[in-house]
Chains A and B, each alone.
Chain A
Amino acid sequence: MGLFNTFDVAGSALSAQSLRLNLTASNLANMNNVAGSADEVYRARHAVFRSAEPTFADRLAAVGVRVLGVVESRAPAIERFDPGHPEADENGLVYAANVNAVEEMANMLSASRSYQSNLEVINTAKQLLLRTLSLGQG
């Protein structure tokens, strides 16, 4: 039945978007991390979304969203010349996390908007289902 499916679909989007919001929080929290080498420093993490697409034989309409995994950004770590830093290497360089704050803020806004719209879908579906259940009782 249609309406119960709507909850699954919108629910999958809610969990995907909350994962994205969590990753944004993690990236922003670790934005100022520094390390002595480019390999050790924190790297920005992003979720990869994919629609849970059915095969062509089964063209069922409702498909949720699936998180394929979390990938680390391949952008180079930011080198900073800071010879007084305890973590600095022999050239006086420290490596800062490759988090782009502007990108993360945009991501956060997008994730929270998507979360809101999916929540609205669930609320509307719930109301319609409740009205359907009380059909003919009035």
Chain B
Amino acid sequence: MSIDQPALANDQGVRNRFSRFFYAEEVPYGLAIVRILMPLALLVPMLARWSLARELYSTDGAPTPLWFNYGWYNMLPLFSGGVVVALHTLLIFFLFSSAVGWKTRFSLPAATLLFVYLNLCDSVSTITKYSVIAAHIMLLLSLSHSGGIWSVDAWLKKRKQLRAGENTAAATLPRFAIWPQRLMQLMIGIVYFGAAITKMHTPEFFSGEQMQTWLLTNVNYNNPIGEYLSLYPASMVFMAYISIVWEVLFLFLVWRGWGRTVMIAMGTMFHLATCLVLGLYVFPMVCISIYFAFIDERTALKFGAWFSTVRDKMGWQSKSVPAAVSAAAPEAGGRFRLPSPIVYCLMMLGVTVVGVEVEHRLDRYGVRRPEGPYALKEITDTNLIARMLAAPQPMRTKDMFDTFELGTGFVGGLLLDRRDEYRQGEMIAAQVGLNVPHHDMWLECNLFDSRGNQLDRVGQVVSRETTRANFYYSLNEILDPGEYFFVLKSGGQEVMRKRIVLKANIKPPVAN
């Protein structure tokens, strides 16, 4: 029974509603999808790191334990290269078996434990907040009956029933209390709420500066769209407000009806945008996987009925794979059939041994090559060495400035309608973006004509925390149409200049 059902609405009393909220029983369709998708999402980063495990997580490499960052230097043990490779191989096996739902009640907690441990061992290049969110979900999946359907376990159970001569066609799907699913839903809502608090702590988020710098930060995967978007900084402010409103509302509106549809749709768009704009790949996979926890039994049945209709209309006549396999199962294996737990243990052992052996042969450090260990690469550029080891130099004045742009007004503190052609009588706004740190400075934005004559001088003190300074000019009719330059100066030294073309006012003069 889902929370959308009328029975819940008629219930009286907080305790009853609480009980229904957490203990209503449903077929775990949503949980099963999360159980399939989440381990697959985690396999993306963890498979990529498997051949690097020795270097990233073991005492045979350069592990960077998270507990060191917090000053807890002996919190967990670090293992040797071989042990870590075995653990990492086991993690891959457990993630895969969790996704297919094989020995789910063991695979999920084992995968969770190993995933958390290995992530903790590498604070620099493995653990991120998506790892933490995924760890929470894996923990909650471990406590759930997510392997009850759409899993090898369910298929094996059905096969056993077939062998015993039971009529499986009439059997109903198992139903379980939905509290693990509810905790998952609450967890992702709380994550967004916490993220909103972070943004509230960061004033630069609302002025668009933080997002602007993140678009230019090349620490994630390629983000060419983000770099292009940096040409339109005002859009950052707009997106900043939308995202924080969505993050705050998610926890409260996601539970039913249109609220759920809108929140999930916005969330999906938000995460896809982080992929395109910031170059995040695994984070969206993890978060979008969790959204399937919001599929309750009623929604799943609705989708199922819709899919059946589409299938009938399209004339698809395929027998589902689980049904086909189940039907063939009683004859499979013959007399050499082994019990599933033994096959599981043998597979676990076999995969681990093969993994350790393959990694040994890959020889990450090249120490077993015929020519011996690698030699270091010499740096022959003596100028580079001299620059690297010289005493640090003060920052160039021009590096204290980010942008110098001209437009006609501001929105959200950012320049709007940037252009280089104006008409007489228009107001012109100049905005200077500054990089912090910079010293307290006197800034001038001076107007020059095309012959280099200074026509006007406007200045202001800019204190060291300031990231933006604005200047205003009225392009009145004292100025003839033609070419002009706005020159930004700091300490009397020219930093940047912008050229504009002033055109005659086309409006006829007012007669009075």
A and B physically associate:
no
Q: B: which residues have CB within 8 A of A?
A: none
Q: A: which residues have CB within 8 A of B?
A: none
